[in-house]
A and B are shown apart, each in its own frame.
Chain A
């Protein structure tokens, strides 16, 4: 019970921090609201005040608020998918981008974008989004199956095999995306490059609703799995003896993580390393206790991505830095730190 209240304390503290950062992020931007603060503008909008101009309303609600919510949703899902994979593979290096899920999702999403363009305009908006989303899910699911099949034998996962499979999938994805780049026009080329580095600039409420639905379904299944993942650390046999349905647990995690990574990639492009950084920091604080770090990574992932996104759109304003550059910059050193720490066990 004591551990439970400690978890709630950390969850509430980080949620408060997330709210503070969201408020600061809401205040950050090049648009000038004149006399009132952006927060006042949002308050006026919530109250239904008619004094709010259309531009003010648009910027506060459809631009900034939509983007902040998207950063929160995607950051949370990427971090949770990283944490779950690390629990499943019993390894701190397992994340969606390192084992090729992101790359697989990116590839199929890119194909859907290029080829889907022919009939896209005849489809309603929600279906257009899910077309790319479904493709991205299939891409990440296939990559996940491949990684799992190749790297696991007799219930044990070979880490080197896992990472190398990730390298191979990334190489294949890169080459086909490269082909798409080659046949694309100059302006499409810029879009593809920009999209490969990730961006939350295209956030809309429609996308947010879809992401939120995916997240809620995923978390209902995934978040109570902390204890099961703790048991998995003892090895699959011992976990089985403790009453865990190991095969079912693995399947659930694989499908849900593929779904989360796929939908994140479909809406924001490739944003790497979030699934590596967040669990790493949490593990430093709480050891590998998944009952703790799984729910906490859901909030801390949002904190990380929202902070990074606020930087990405204010550092080089009025232009913006692709967010993938920032997360990779943070993730790179942590990746090396993990490699050094686990040098012997790899």
Chain B
């Protein structure tokens, strides 16, 4: 019986700590947030969508985002981070009292979706296509959802940026490696990364499967990429350039032999939002440098 009493008292203690923490947080938000444009309180659950909302001038209306929403960095101070889409639960979303939830159909797990639907909060789930047209369509849809008609400038900027992409005579084969802890995945056909690599004048090194698959030495050797492409955080986690060169199979490839490893900001390259053109130009420059 003692154990039960102990457990109960620990629970009381945890509860009171949480309560105190909650009040402290409320005070800080009051001090930093400015008056939003409208009364919208938006929760964005996708990095690209977050960027679109912010680029349309509604950044102050965003009250909470998911972990992939890293841009603009100023959001960190004003919006609550709800963590990763896959481990997110409904109560923290309800806690920010949103009037609108914006999400992509690819990220959200069905159980959370069910909970969001039954909560009665207005929710827009967008179909995300990782192409230039798909991105423009997404911008238009998000703009409409938040009641903003001034979105054409964002689409024009993507076009203007993409014009700066220089053609590369001999298209380099690029292998994107998604490194997260011990888990290494490579991007196959029909992935955002494959699409961006093509936009930037390269060629996706993997052509025999779709989506992301675990990295195997044989597959790497077979793909024989000219360049290895990482998220900056992923490359750091994998032990930098040296770590990447030691990955199984890499030393047998052109990229490994010539030590061609590039990395870009994960939010920029995988967002497929208003900065799509910027991302393509950035990758294009890196590819040109690495093929010299």
* A122 on interface, CB distance cutoff 8 Å: no
Q: Quick check: B11 and A310 within 8 Å, CB to CB?
A: yes
Q: Quick check: B115 and A21 within 8 Å, CB to CB?
A: no
**Known: A55-B94, A58-B119. Contact between A191 and B109, CB under 8 A?**
yes
Residue of A58, A62, A300, A314 near B14 (CB, 8 A) is: A314
**Known: A32-B95, A63-B91, A64-B91. Contact between A27 and B15, CB under 8 A?**
yes
**From B18, B81, B178, residue with most partner A Cβ within 10 Å:** B18
Q: Quick check: B211 and A185 within 8 Å, CB to CB?
A: yes
**Known: A28-B18, A55-B97, A182-B214. Contact between A190 and B8, CB under 8 A?**
no
Q: Quick check: B87 and A303 within 8 Å, CB to CB?
A: no
Please indicate the chain A residues that have their CB under 8 angstroms from the CB of B178 in the complex: 186
Interface string of B50-78 (1 = CB under 8 A from A): 00000000000000000000000000000
**Known: A30-B91, A186-B185, A186-B212. Contact between A201 and B111, CB under 8 A?**
yes
Q: Quick check: A186 and B95 within 8 Å, CB to CB?
A: no
Interface string of B66-108 (1 = CB under 8 A from A): 0000000000000011111011111110110100000000110
Residue of B1, B15, B92, B118 near A58 (CB, 8 A) is: B118
Q: Quick check: B111 and A202 within 8 Å, CB to CB?
A: yes
Q: Quick check: B4 and A31 within 8 Å, CB to CB?
A: no
* A281 on interface, CB distance cutoff 8 Å: yes
Bound together, the chains give a CA A54 to CA B122 distance in angstroms of 13
Bound together, the chains give a CA A317 to CA B88 distance in angstroms of 10
Chain B's nearest CB lies how many Å from the CB of A266? 13
* A318 on interface, CB distance cutoff 8 Å: yes
Bound together, the chains give a CA A285 to CA B91 distance in angstroms of 38
Bound together, the chains give a CA A341 to CA B283 distance in angstroms of 63
Q: Which of A45-104 contact B (CB under 8 A)?
A: 54-55, 58-59, 62-64
Please indicate the chain A residues that have their CB under 8 angstroms from the CB of B87 in the complex: 190, 194, 319-320
Q: Quick check: A318 and B82 within 8 Å, CB to CB?
A: yes
* B168 on interface, CB distance cutoff 8 Å: no
Interface size class of B (residues with CB under 8 A): 35 or more
Please indicate the chain B residues that have their CB under 8 angstroms from the CB of A63 in the complex: 90-91, 94, 115
Q: Quick check: A319 and B88 within 8 Å, CB to CB?
A: yes
* A187 on interface, CB distance cutoff 8 Å: yes
Q: Quick check: B107 and A54 within 8 Å, CB to CB?
A: no
* B12 on interface, CB distance cutoff 8 Å: yes
| CB closest chain-B residue, reference A55 | B94
Bound together, the chains give a CA A14 to CA B80 distance in angstroms of 39
Chain B's nearest CB lies how many Å from the CB of A250? 32
* A20 on interface, CB distance cutoff 8 Å: yes
Bound together, the chains give a CA A146 to CA B7 distance in angstroms of 38
* B3 on interface, CB distance cutoff 8 Å: yes
Residue of B22, B109, B114 near A32 (CB, 8 A) is: B22
Chain B's nearest CB lies how many Å from the CB of A197? 10
Bound together, the chains give a CA A319 to CA B93 distance in angstroms of 10
* A24 on interface, CB distance cutoff 8 Å: yes
Please indicate the chain B residues that have their CB under 8 angstroms from the CB of A186 in the complex: 178, 185, 211-212
**Known: A186-B211, A319-B83. Contact between A313 and B89, CB under 8 A?**
yes
| CB closest chain-B residue, reference A284 | B3
Chain B's nearest CB lies how many Å from the CB of A58? 5
* B120 on interface, CB distance cutoff 8 Å: yes
Residues of B at under 8 Å CB distance from A?
1, 3-4, 7-8, 11-12, 14-15, 18, 22, 26, 80-84, 86-92, 94-95, 97, 106-107, 109, 111-112, 114-115, 118-121, 178, 185, 211-212, 214
New A-B contacts (7) at CB < 8 Å, excluding given A186-B185, A310-B14, A314-B15: A30-B91, A31-B91, A32-B26, A54-B120, A313-B91, A318-B83, A319-B88
Residues of A at under 8 Å CB distance from B?
13-14, 17, 20-21, 24-25, 27-32, 54-55, 58-59, 62-64, 182, 185-187, 190-191, 194, 201-202, 204, 281, 285, 300, 303, 307, 310-311, 313-315, 317-320
Q: For the complex of A and B, list the 6 residue pairs with the smallest distance between their C-beta atoms, beginning with the closest.
A: A318-B92, A319-B83, A202-B111, A190-B86, A31-B95, A30-B95
Q: What are 15 contact pairs spanning A and B, CB under 8 A?
A: A21-B7, A30-B91, A55-B121, A62-B119, A64-B91, A185-B211, A190-B87, A201-B89, A202-B111, A281-B3, A311-B14, A317-B18, A318-B80, A319-B83, A319-B84
